[in-house]
Amino acid sequence: MQRLLLRSGGARLTASRLAAATYRVTRRSTHSGSILQFSDEVEAFRDVVSRFNNDLVAPNISSMDAEEKIPSTLVDALFETGLMAVETPEEYGGAGASFTAAVAVVEELAKCDASVSVLNDVHNTLVSTCVRKWGSEYIKDTYLPQLATSKLGAFALSEPGAGSDAFALKTRARKLADGDFVLNGGKMWITNGGEAEIFVVFANAEPEKGHRGITAFVVEKPWGIKVVKKEHKLGIRASSTAVLALDDVHVPAENVLGEYGKGYRIAIECLNEGRIGIAAQMTGIAQGAFDRAVSYVYQDRKQFGKFVGEFQGMQFQIAQIATEIEAARLLLYNAAAIKDAGGDFVKEAAMAKLYASQVAERAASKAIEWMGGVGFTREESVEKYYRDAKIGAIYEGTSNIQLQTIAKLIQKEYS
Ligand SMILES: Cc1cc2nc3c(=O)[nH]c(=O)nc-3n(C[C@H](O)[C@H](O)[C@H](O)COP(=O)(O)OP(=O)(O)OC[C@H]3O[C@@H](n4cnc5c(N)ncnc54)[C@H](O)[C@@H]3O)c2cc1C
Q: Quick one: what percent of the chain has pLDDT higher than 90?
A: 90
Q: Which residues of 292-323 are buried (b: 16+ CB within 10 A; e: fewer)?
A: bbbebbeeebeeeeeebbeeeebeeebeebee
- pLDDT 10s digits, 35-64: 778 999 999 999 999 999 999 999 999 999
- Tell me the CA–centroid distance for residue 168 and ligand 1, in Å: 13
Residue 177 CB neighbours (<10 A): 5
258 and 272 in a single domain? The answer is no
CATH number for the domain spanning 221: value is 2.40.110.10
293 in any annotated domain: yes
Give residue 234's domain range: 153-262
**What is the atom index within ligand 1 of the atom nearest the CA of 398?**
47
Q: Are residues 257 and 271 in the same domain?
A: no
Share of the chain above pLDDT 70, in %: 92
CB atoms within 10 A of CB 3: 10
What's the whole-number mean pLDDT along residues 6-31? 54
Confidence (pLDDT) at 6: 32
Q: Specify whether 35 is located in the same domain as 108.
A: yes
**Known catalytic residue at 107:** no
pLDDT exceeds cutoff 50 at 275: yes
Last residue of some domain: 262, 297, 317?
A: 262
Sign of CA dihedral 103, 108, 109, 113: positive
For residues 83 and 136, state if they share a domain: yes
Average pLDDT over residues 117-146: 98
pLDDT at 36: 78
Check whether residue 201 and residue 304 sit in a common domain.
no
Same-domain pairing of 240 and 257: yes
Ligand 1 centroid – CA 149 distance (Å): 31
Taking the centre of ligand 1 as the mean of its atom positions, its distance from the CA of residue 220, in whole angstroms, is 25
Query: pTM to 2 decimals?
Result: 0.94
Q: Are 402 and 275 in contact (CB under 8 A)?
A: yes
pLDDT tens digits for 138-176?
999 999 999 999 999 999 999 999 999 999 999 999 999
How many residues in the chain?
A: 415
CATH number of the domain where residue 99 is located: 1.10.540.10
Q: How many domains does the chain have?
A: 3
Read off the pLDDT band of 11 (50, 70, 90): low
Q: Quick one: 53 and 137 in the same domain? A: yes
91-120 tens-digit pLDDT: 999 999 999 999 999 999 999 999 999 999
Q: Which of 262, 283, 315 is the last residue of a domain?
A: 262
* Ligand 1 atom closest to the CA of 187, numbered from 1: 11
pLDDT score of 343 = 97
Q: In this structure, are residues 14 and 82 in contact, taking their beta carbons and an 8 Å threshold?
A: yes
Q: Which of the four pLDDT bands, split at 50, 70 and 90, describes residue 28?
A: very low
Residue nearest to atom 37 of ligand 1 (CA): 164
Chain-centroid distance of CA 123 in Å reads 8
Does residue 163's CB lie within 6 angstroms of at least one atom of ligand 1? yes
Q: What is the pLDDT of residues 360-394, one digit of tens each?
A: 999 999 999 999 999 999 987 899 999 999 999 99
Ligand 1, residue 191: give the atom nearest the CA: 8
Does residue 303 contact residue 373 with C-beta atoms inside 8 Å?
A: no
Q: Whose CA is nearest to atom 12 of ligand 1?
A: 158
- Residue 298 in any domain: the answer is yes
Whether residues 21 and 145 share a domain: the answer is yes
Question: Residues 143, 272: one domain?
Answer: no
* 20 pLDDT higher than 90: no
248 φ/ψ angles, rounded to the nearest 5 degrees: 50, 55
Nearest CA, atom 27, ligand 1: 163
Q: Is the CB–ligand 1 distance for residue 114 below 6 Å?
A: no
Residue 1 inside a domain? The answer is: no
231 - beta bridge partners? none
Q: Are residues 222 and 288 in the same domain?
A: no
C-alpha 174/C-alpha 176 separation (Å) is: 6
Q: Would residue 2 count as lying in a domain?
A: no
Q: Are residues 166 and 242 in the same domain?
A: yes
- Over 80: is that where the pLDDT of 17 sits? no
Q: What is the pLDDT of residue 172?
A: 98
User: Residue 27's pLDDT is what?
Assistant: 42
Ligand 1 centroid to residue 243 C-alpha, Å: 14
Answer with the one of 132, 149, 166 that is the final residue of a domain: 149
Give the pLDDT score at 8. Answer: 45
* Residue 333 pLDDT greater than 70, yes or no: yes
- Give backbone dihedrals phi and psi of 413, rounded to 5 degrees, phi first: -65, -35
CA distance 168 to 162: 5
**pLDDT tops 50 at residue 338:** yes
DSSP output for 113-141: -HHHHHHHHIIIIIIIHHHHHH--HHHHH
384 and 270 housed in the same domain: yes
Q: What backbone torsions phi and psi does residue 85 show, to the nearest 5 degrees?
A: -150, 50
